[in-house]
């Protein structure tokens, strides 16, 4: 059975290369000539004011939206289709399916045999072993989000994109789920949208701010050490301060 330390995503996950990306809605230009390179296995946190275009960028990278111009490919030069798992702002668990059925939904939709040993392993990892027959209505918010993480990881994709996945959780549950995500995503290339500077500093290797109209990406703040970093880690506290200052200045 695979272990968390050996999530079966191959040797090195592909990085992401975003080249000269533009997005326009009618006369509104959300961004133009946007370039971003995320190296293999890196965890990037993307921040920025509401409405600046973060979710749009993530959806384009995920292949869920079409850009007006530009391209997104893997750092290995191959398309990213089929190599990305996407986790949105809501857990989107199907209320009529139990935890296990939700976790294995992708395989079921594709008409594949479900990998029950892998599902068991993930349910154990996210602390839901023995809860697999419960419906989402019987779960707390934190448990639902943990089930959604298990469903994301069940897909065994080397790239994981997350759009504010923990924003609805209370501070303590959020910290626990952040720890879990950091541990389970060590072998993936990950891009996380968050409004929470502390979350960004605990999880991200590079923190990038998207700002302006049209939006551009700022110089990244880079943190050392492996996530999850402790909330009172001096580097986390210092970077959090820098980030808040940067976001405030950009908003003026």
Ligand X SMILES: Nc1ncnc2c1ncn2[C@@H]1O[C@H](COP(=O)(O)OP(=O)(O)OP(=O)(O)O)[C@@H](O)[C@H]1O
Q: Which stretch binds ligand X (CB under 6 A): 45-53, 106-114, 152-160, 241-249?
A: 45-53
Q: Which is nearer to ligand X, 56 or 102 (CB)?
A: 56
Q: Rank residues 51 and 130 by Cβ distance to ligand X and give the closer one.
A: 51
Near ligand X by CB under 6 A, which window of 54-62, 107-115, 133-141, 232-240?
54-62
The CB-of-155 to ligand X minimum distance in angstroms stands at: 23
Chain centroid offset of residue 193 CA: 7
Q: Which of 50, 66, 137, 252 binds ligand X (CB under 6 A)?
A: 50
Regarding 45 and contact with ligand X (CB under 6 A), the answer is no
Please report, as residue ranges, which positions from 18 to 37 form the binding site for ligand X (by CB under 6 A). Answer: 25, 30
Show contacts of 57-63: CB within 8 Å, 24+ apart. 57/18, 57/21, 57/23, 57/31, 57/210, 58/86, 58/161, 58/163, 58/191, 58/193, 60/21, 60/23, 61/16, 61/18, 61/161, 61/191, 62/86, 62/161
Least distance between ligand X and beta carbon 36 (Å): 15
Is 52 among the residues that bind ligand X (CB under 6 A)? yes
CB of 196 to ligand X, least distance (A): 12
Q: What are phi and psi of 90, to 5 degrees?
A: -100, 155
Rounded least distance, CB 160 to ligand X, Å: 18
How many distinct helices (H) and strands (E) make up the chain?
A: 8, 10
C-alpha–C-alpha distance, residues 121 and 7, integer Å: 11
CA-CA distance, 122 to 103, in Å (whole number)? 9
Q: How many residues bind ligand X (CB under 6 A)?
A: 10
Cα(134)–Cα(115) distance, integer angstroms: 19
To the nearest whole angstrom, how small is the minimum distance from the Cβ of residue 57 to ligand X? 7
* Distance (Å, whole) CA 68 – CA 196: 29
Q: Look up residue 98 and give its DSSP letter.
A: -
Which one among 9, 55, 136, 200 touches ligand X, defined by CB under 6 A? 55
- Residue closer to ligand X by CB (options 132, 164) is 164
The residues of the shown chain that bind ligand X, judged by CB under 6 A, are: 25, 30, 48, 50-56
């Amino acid at each position: 059975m695979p272990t968390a330390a050996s999530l079966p995503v191959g040797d090195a996950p592909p990085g992401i290369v975003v080249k000269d990306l533009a997005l326009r809605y009618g006369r509104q230009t959300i961004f133009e000539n946007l370039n971003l390179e995320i190296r293999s296995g890196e965890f990037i946190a993307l921040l920025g004011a509401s409405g600046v275009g973060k979710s749009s960028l993530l959806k384009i990278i995920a292949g869920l939206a079409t850009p007006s111009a530009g391209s997104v490919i893997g750092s290995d030069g191959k398309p990213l289709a089929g190599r990305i798992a996407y986790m949105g702002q809501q857990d989107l668990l199907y209320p009529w399916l139990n935890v296990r059925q939700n976790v294995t939904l992708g395989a079921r939709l594709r008409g594949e045999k479900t990998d029950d040993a892998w599902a068991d392993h993930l349910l154990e990892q996210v602390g839901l072993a023995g809860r697999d027959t419960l419906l989402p209505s019987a779960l707390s918010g934190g448990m639902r989000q943990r089930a959604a993480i298990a469903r994301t990881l069940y897909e065994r994709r080397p790239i994981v994109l997350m759009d504010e996945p923990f924003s609805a959780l209370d501070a303590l549950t959020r910290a626990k789920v952040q720890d879990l995500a950091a541990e389970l995503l060590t072998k993936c290339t990950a891009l996380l949208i968050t409004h929470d500077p502390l979350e960004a500093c605990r999880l991200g290797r590079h923190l990038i701010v998207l700002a302006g109209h049209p939006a551009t990406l700022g110089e990244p703040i880079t943190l050392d050490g492996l996530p999850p970093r402790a909330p009172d880690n001096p580097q986390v506290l210092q970077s959090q301060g820098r980030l808040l200052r940067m976001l405030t200045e950009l908003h003026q």
